[in-house]
Every structure is written in structure tokens, then in C-alpha cells.
Amino acid sequence: MKFWTSEYTFNHPWDKVVQAAWRKYPNPMNPAVASIDVLDRTVDEKGVLHTHRILSSKWGIPSWVQNIMGSPSIMYSNEKSEVDPNNKTMVLKSRNITFCSNIAVDEHLVYSPHPSDPAKTLLKQEAVVLVKGVPLSSYMESLLTTTISSNANKGRQAMNWVISKIDEELKDLSNTASKSTDEFIHHTKKSLDDITVSAKKSMDDLSSVAKKSLDDLLPSSSSPGPQALPKF
């Protein structure tokens, strides 16, 4: 049995990191991940989000391991996670499905606000690798542990890449929104100007029509007798 642990700090707040975690794939650092599917998702009475997912990977198994274990074209793994927005923790646990009669790779990740800086996020990661019932099991454990470590580094790069992508999207969105707002204000002002001009013109027209009507009603030379005025 082999153990592996590691810690990493993201220079981003927890809220942003956990959003990125759900959008981690696809990314250029982990091209082997072929599919991810949600099997179940619920929120419990404490407001904790529980998710069950199945992931598949296309490669990443050294060929000599395949020679011993057989060569699956796809490796599946099972992941269960909890996001507690009150305590600000996101916990992910995964285990391989493929080869599970001989190999157990258990991974455990916890994202939480960094204890010394709430604007940062701490990732604590650990893995337990157990291989039994096949030759060279101890060596396979070491190799799998090395693979996990290398994948972890790629995973962190991937997270940072996704966070940048999300930031870009937000920037684009606010640029579009402010551009739209500017256009809207300009358009509204123009409309108001038009309306004002129209209204003014209408008022002028109305005044001249009213005056003309009044002139028509009133005889021009003498003061009007009561019967000449229309009854209102």
C-alpha cells in the first residue's frame, strides 16, 4: 500500500475555485479525460450539495501495466463529492472502477479557504494505492503513485487555466454589458431628443391649429355676442 499527500494554494477565493472545479474539464493539461457524467445530485437538509459522478479516461496506463492487467481502452472511475457552502469546503473522493478487483486507487481532495488568507484557497490532496493479486504489485503501486503526483500537478495547472477562462468570460460579459448600457443610454437620449422635438412640433401645430380654430370661431371685426360663441 502506498500513500501520497500534497498541498497547494490557489491565489483565488474559494467561491471562484469551486466553480472552476465543476468546469475543470475539458482542459489542455488533461487530454486523457474522455467523459464525465453526473449520476445523481442532491442538496441535503444542511444545505450541502452531494454529487455522484462517473469519469472515464482514455490512456495513462503504462504499457507494461497493461501487459499484466490487460489493456482496457477506457478506464472508469467513480467520484462522490460534497460542497458545503456554509463551512466553505468542497470534498471529492474517487476510486477506480476498472480493475477494481486488483487495484484500488482512492483519491481524496479538499478545497477550503486558506487559513491565513481568505482570498486564497487551500487544496489538500491525498491518495492511497493498493495493488493485490498480480505480479510486481509493490512496483505497480509506486508507479501509480508517481502517475497520481504528475496528474495532480497537471490538475492544478488545469484549475488555474479554467479560472482564467472564467475571469475572461466575466470580463467579456461586463464589457458587453457596459457597451450595451452605453448604447442603451445613447439610444434613449436620442429617442428623448426625438420625442422632445416631436412634442414641441406637435405643440406648435396644436397652438396654430387652436389659434386658427379660435380665429375662425371669433368674427374678426366685432366683439362676439353670446350666441356666436360655441357652448362648451
Partner 1 sequence: MEESQGNSGNNIETTPQFMNSIADECNDLKKAYDDCFNAWFSEKFLKGDRNLSKCDALLQLYTVCVKNAMKVKSIDINEVEKEHLGTENERRKPS
Name which of 177 and 185 has its Cβ closer to partner 1. Answer: 177
81 binds partner 1 (CB under 8 A): no
Helix (H/G/I), strand (E/B), else coil: 149: helix
Q: How far is Cα 91 from Cα 125, in angstroms, rounded to an integer? A: 10
91 binds partner 1 (CB under 8 A): no
Is the Cβ–Cβ distance between 120 and 88 less than 8 Å? no
Among 17, 56, 128, 141, binds partner 1 (CB under 8 A): 56
Among 4, 6, 8, 49, binds partner 1 (CB under 8 A): 49
Helix (H/G/I), strand (E/B), else coil: 89: strand
Q: How far is Cα 141 from Cα 2, in angstroms, rounded to an integer? A: 6
110 binds partner 1 (CB under 8 A): no
Q: Is the dihedral of CA 196, 200, 206, 210 positive or negative?
A: positive
The distance of closest approach from Cβ of residue 179 to partner 1 in the complex, given in angstroms and rounded to an integer, is: 22
Name which of 49 and 110 has its Cβ closer to partner 1. Answer: 49
76 binds partner 1 (CB under 8 A): yes
How many secondary structure helices (H) and strands (E) does the chain include? 3, 7
Among 115, 133, 226, 230, binds partner 1 (CB under 8 A): 133
